[in-house]
Structures are given as C-alpha cells and as structure tokens.
Copies of this chain bind each other. A is one copy, B any other.
Amino acid sequence: MSKITIQQIADLAGVNKATVSRVINRSANISEKTREKVEAIMKEHNYVPNSIARGLAFNKTFTVGFYSDYTDKRAYANPFFYKVLQGIEEIVYNNDHMFLMMSDHVNKKSSSTFENVVSQHRVDGLIIPNTLLTEQNYDLLIKHNMPYVVTGENMLPKEGVPWVDIDNVQAGQVLTEHLIELGCRNIMIYAGGEAVARDKFLADRLKGYTEMMKRNQLDISVIEHADVLKTLNLAKKSEKSERTGITGTRPDALICCTHEQLFEILDWERGNPMLSELALATFDNFPMSKYMTHPVHFVDIDLEMMGKQAAQMLFSLMNKETDVPKSISIHTRIGN
C-alpha cells in the first residue's frame, strides 16, 4: 500500500515517467496543461517521490549528519546543548533535508558509525564538534570529499577548516565587565595551568578577563586548579589577621571557567559559609542560578544561533557557494 511509483503516476496521467519527473523537479519545457494534470494526479494519490531512488540517481542523500560526543560534558551532557540541535534542525528542515545523528560508537565489526556514514555517503555533509575532529576523522572527510563544519574553534593544525564558535574572548570581557559594574574590584579567575594550555576556549576566556581587568586598571589574579581552595582560604585568613597574609587584598568575585569548576567551588562552599560574600560567575547558560544557595552570574550563550550558523555554513559549502566565511564567532551577553 502506498507503494505508488512514478511509473504509475505516469500511466495514470497518460504520459511518460520522464514527464512526471520533470514536473517533480520543476524542469522547464513542460506545457501548463500536462503539468497541472500530473500535479493533480500526484496530489490525488498522495504521491511522494521515493527519496532513496532519487538519491541514487542524483548521488545525493538529502541528509545532513551531526556527529555527537556523549562523553563531552561541555556539549552533549549540557542540559542546554539541545538548543544547538534545535538551531541546526531548523535550517536543515527549511532546506528540505533530513537530520542524521550519530554518536561516537564502534560496532561489532569494529567499524565506527562515523566511518560508515562518511564512506557510505549516507549524508551530503556533516557537522562535527571540534573535540571529535581528530586527524583521522579529518583525513576521512577529505578523502571522501565530504563537506563539513566544525562546532567549536578548530584545534587541528590544518588550513581551511570551517568552524563556528562562541567568541570566548568577548565572553570573558563581558562577564568581567559585568562584575566590575556590580562593584567588584578584586576579581579572581579560576583558570590556568595545563588546562588553559590544552583548551583554547579556556585561554580565550582568560584572555578576555585579563584584557578587561587591565583596561580598568585592576589587578589580575589567576588561580590554578589544585590551589584554588587553598588560595581562597588564605585570602580569607589574610583578612582575618588584618593583612598579614600573602594576599594583601580580599577577593570579592570569582569567575569559574567551566561548570565543573563552579561545582567544585559550590561543593566546597557548602562547608565554608564564609565564602558567601564572594560573587560567583561562570560561562554557559546557568538557569538553575536562582535556585542556588548562592546566586551565580553568567554569560548567556546563544547556542541556537550557533547551530543555525553552523548549518547555514554547511549548506553554503554543500552548494559550493563562493565567499563562504572560513569561521564565525558568536557574541554573548550577560544572562538573565
């Protein structure tokens, strides 16, 4: 049932299936009369061209892929990551394509989903997070001539990798500026060490903070992973003993570069209510803020926009448009 083919429509309309194909594809050289007749028959029978067969003939799939990483807490496990998907899907559907999700997974035959999708040409193009763009995956994409766009700034030492990301430098600036406007003067940032060297987005957020602090002639205070709690205790002590400690000034704000860091602080804070005078701030949307013991300032990141831009860029590449920007940075603003 409902297995109606182009041939049957053609027979019903008393024309050749090529003619039907022409009206489907809005080809020129069709008389108004036959077009209308064929269209009427198609509508009457709820005929929908089989996109698999269409794909085989066109050598296209009308499908866009998205490669996701369940283990990337910064992305997929983030409650609001689905916003990115929403943005992508909107664009994908408006371009009459389908949306194929694939997560990092290796099946019995030791072939990864990603590899299969790319080598079988199951999609016409795909969006891939920077964390998953390994040298190997990159090579695969190039080898199969598969259009792609990276979400998150490209970290691979390759030229011409198209990416879309949040402008993390600007985010760092905005957040710092917000705290300054709130009256904070001794703003610390929890970032540094190897993490900053490894993750560009951390370095960028730090950079934004640093720039804004300098612009306001305030002292920069970066604390590193292992030392953060000690540092805070020290600062507290130093205030108690009337400036006899190492740190002369008492911090009044702390920027956490990731939610993980924020939670670390929050965990510690529960046992140390004295921390409550410290203004906490973080990146990424943090709508739970109002329910917390301690309000948290944050920059609102427009993930939906990020998804839209990535998809838009991908379609531009798939359509071989010229003047496609190599990368896009998205600005942020203070949340709530």
Contact surface of A with B, Cβ cutoff 8 Å: 1-2, 46, 48-53, 55-56, 61, 63, 70, 76-77, 79, 81-82, 85-86, 89-90, 93-94, 96, 98-103, 105, 107-109, 113, 116-117, 119-122, 143-145, 263, 266, 288, 291-293
Contacts and interface: CB of A to CB of B under 8 A. Distances in A.
The 5 closest A-B pairs by CB, nearest first: A79-B79, A48-B119, A93-B105, A51-B120, A101-B101
10 contacts: A48-B120, A52-B52, A52-B56, A52-B122, A94-B107, A98-B117, A99-B101, A266-B291, A291-B293, A292-B293
Given A52-B56, A100-B101, 16 more contacts: A1-B143, A1-B144, A50-B120, A52-B55, A52-B61, A56-B56, A77-B82, A81-B82, A85-B101, A90-B105, A94-B107, A98-B100, A98-B102, A99-B101, A101-B101, A263-B291
Contact of A291 (B102, B103, B143, B288): B288
A82 B52 CA distance: 29
Nearest to A79: B79
Contacts of A99: 100-102
A121 B90 CA distance: 21
B48 A145 contact: no
- Counted per complex, copies of this chain come to 2
A50 B56 CA distance: 9
A103 B83 CA distance: 12
Contacts of A113: 93, 98
Contact of A53 (B56, B70, B291): B56
Contact of A86 (B53, B56, B70, B145): B70
Contact of A96 (B100, B107, B266): B107
A120 B49 contact: yes
Nearest to A146: B2
A99 B53 CA distance: 19
Contacts of A293: 291-293
A258 to B, nearest CB: 15
Contacts of A70: 82, 86
Contacts of A86: 70, 103
A263 B292 CA distance: 12
A144 B2 CA distance: 6
Contacts of A100: 63, 98-101
Contact of A46 (B1, B96, B119): B119
Contacts of A85: 101, 103
Nearest to A103: B89
A244 to B, nearest CB: 34
A160 to B, nearest CB: 18
Contacts of A143: 1-2
A89 B69 CA distance: 12
A216 to B, nearest CB: 31
A145 to B, nearest CB: 6
B98 A51 contact: no
A228 B101 CA distance: 42
A51 B122 contact: yes
A98 B82 contact: no
A107 B79 contact: no
Contacts of A102: 98-99
Contacts of A1: 143-145
